[in-house]
């Protein structure tokens, strides 16, 4: 379903449909993360990807319109920038160890300790939950605080725009009465 939503995003030209489909894609991703027992990532994806981003895109659509305009220039320069950036990123991955190799350095820093000792030290059988809830508890609390602060900030920005429009309308009505 994620692949179908991604391909549909490439084909659709109605921007409202693109925003809605991007929100659906984020919710599907959050569901996938939940199935993979990455609940913290699922919460963040649902809140930021499906929630806040969709609201911001809809607000932008209210200002810009619902249909994509045809570009007035040829897309050669943007394509060149994308190709050069992609080539630099691929070149940067050449020294990386093979994906999934159990001898990779990343797997032997603290992962061995977490896998062997977390059931005895913490008593939680799910290692991911043990790491997030105990070993990285302050970090997880900080991430949650940042996501919450971002959500409150967006809500305040959106509410401020509604209030200022209401005041402007009342002021215009008062001036017309005089």
Dump pLDDT digits (tens) for 26-40: 999 999 888 887 787
Whether 10 has a pLDDT exceeding 90, the answer reads no
Q: Is the pLDDT of residue 11 over 70?
A: yes
Phi, psi of 70 (to 5 degrees): -75, 135
pTM of the predicted model as reported, rounded to 2 decimal places: 0.50
- Nearest by Cα to 31 from 57, 50, 18: 50
Domains of the chain: 1-71 (1.20.120.1200), 136-178 (no CATH)
Question: Is pLDDT at 175 greater than 70 in this prediction?
Answer: no
Q: What is the pLDDT of residue 168?
A: 54
Beta-carbon count within 10 A of 87 CB: 10
pLDDT at residue 87, rounded to an integer = 96
């Amino acid at each position: 379903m994620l692949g179908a939503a991604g391909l549909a995003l490439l084909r659709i030209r109605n921007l409202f449909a693109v925003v809605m489909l991007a929100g659906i894609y984020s919710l599907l991703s959050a569901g996938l993360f939940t199935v993979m027992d990455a609940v913290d990532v699922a919460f963040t994806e649902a809140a930021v990807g499906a929630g806040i981003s969709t609201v911001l895109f809809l607000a932008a659509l209210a200002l810009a319109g619902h249909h994509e305009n045809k570009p007035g220039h040829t897309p050669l320069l943007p394509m060149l920038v994308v190709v050069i950036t992609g080539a630099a990123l691929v070149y940067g991955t050449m020294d990386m160890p093979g994906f999934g190799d159990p001898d990779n350095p990343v797997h032997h820093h603290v992962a061995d300790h977490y896998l062997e000792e977390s059931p005895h030290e913490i008593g939680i059988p799910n290692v991911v939950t043990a790491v997030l809830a105990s070993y990285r508890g302050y970090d997880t609390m900080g991430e949650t605080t940042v996501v919450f602060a971002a959500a409150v900030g967006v809500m305040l920005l959106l509410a401020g725009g509604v209030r200022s429009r209401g005041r402007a309308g009342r002021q215009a009505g008062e001036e017309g009465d005089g």
